[in-house]
Amino acid sequence: MKNLKLKAARAEKNLSQQELAEQIGVSRQTIGLIELGKYNPTLQLCLAICKALSKTLDDLFWED
Amino acid sequence: MKWFQSNPKDERVEQAKNQIYRELYIVVVGLCFLSIIIKQFVDVAAYSNILAEIVILLIPSLYYMVRGWQLDIFSAEREMHDRRSRIPMTAKNFIYAGAGGVAISLYFGTRSAILYAEGSAQSISYFFLVAAVSLMIYLPLLIGLAFLVEAITKSRHVE
């Protein structure tokens, strides 16, 4: 399932996939795949993404 | 100082690489078995020289056992297995060891009967003789190995 919350939070911060990827130390493809729901990130990476986007785990990764 | 700093790694890439290494190991094991089979049935003269294949098959298995013991994955694996299976893993290991011993004995018996015997009477006697001796060697050996695995697993298990 696509992670639209992550995409929206990234857009809110005016960051491209490349910029977010560089901030948290992964490749652009990994961010793309997380947004597409094709890669299941570790908790460590989830936390890094949350910190970079100033969001909580609930905000970005909790499915309603 | 920069030499000592490791580059940040993309976890997805690392996971994908580990997946490839796992598949690679299966390919290597497959090639070793293929090589042994070819040497046995096609290039019979080379069959006596299968030490390299045996080493390639045995050393990684031993390495896996030692590392698995160090990282305590066997007891965790057994716990997960026993949670959803009616037959405990310990019992399964002994059954597989016994079946493996019987299979190896039958294989050696059949092989001796085909390769060395002349006539059907001799084939039958070679088959039973070699199979019985092999059974006496390999059955206790494999069951002993199962005991060893059990002891190793228990030695690291923390309640």
Tell me the nearest-neighbour CA distance from A27 into chain B, angstroms.
Answer: 6
Q: How confident is the model at residue B1 (pLDDT cuts 50, 70, 90)?
A: low
Contact (CB<8Å) A30/B8: no
Which two tokens mark B122?
A: 């001799």
A52 or B148: whose pLDDT is higher? A52
CATH number at residue A26: 1.10.260.40
Which residues in chain A have their CB less than 8 angstroms from residue B17's CB?
A: none
Residue B2 has pLDDT above 60, yes or no: no
Which residues in chain B have their CB less than 8 angstroms from residue A42's CB?
A: 11
Read off the pLDDT of residues B89-132 as tens digits, 9 standing for 90 and up: 889 999 999 999 999 999 999 988 988 888 888 999 999 999 99
Identify the residue whose tokens are 């019985």: B132
Read off the pLDDT of residues A5-49 as tens digits, 9 standing for 90 and up: 999 999 999 999 999 999 999 999 999 999 999 999 999 999 999
Q: Is the distance from CB of A37 to CB of A1 less than 8 angstroms?
A: yes
How many distinct structural domains can be found in chain A? 1
Interface confidence (ipTM) of the complex? 0.85
Q: Is the distance from CB of B109 to CB of B130 less than 8 angstroms?
A: yes
- Mind spelling out the 3-state secondary structure of B33-91? HHHHHHHHHCCHHHHHCCHHHHHHHHHHHHHHHHHHHHCCHHHHHHHHHHHHCCCCHHH
Q: Is the distance from CB of B67 to CB of B39 less than 8 angstroms?
A: no
Domain hosting A49: range is: 4-61
CB contact A46 to B (< 8 Å): no
Q: How confident is the model at residue B158 (pLDDT cuts 50, 70, 90)?
A: low
Residues 2-41 of A with CB under 8 A from B: 25-27, 29-30, 33, 39, 41
Which residues in chain B have their CB less than 8 angstroms from residue A27's CB?
A: 10, 12-13
Looking at residue B9, its pLDDT comes to 85
Task: Give the closest of B8, B11, B13 to A42, CB-based.
Answer: B11
Distances (CA, A) of B31 to B23, B40, B54: 12, 14, 12
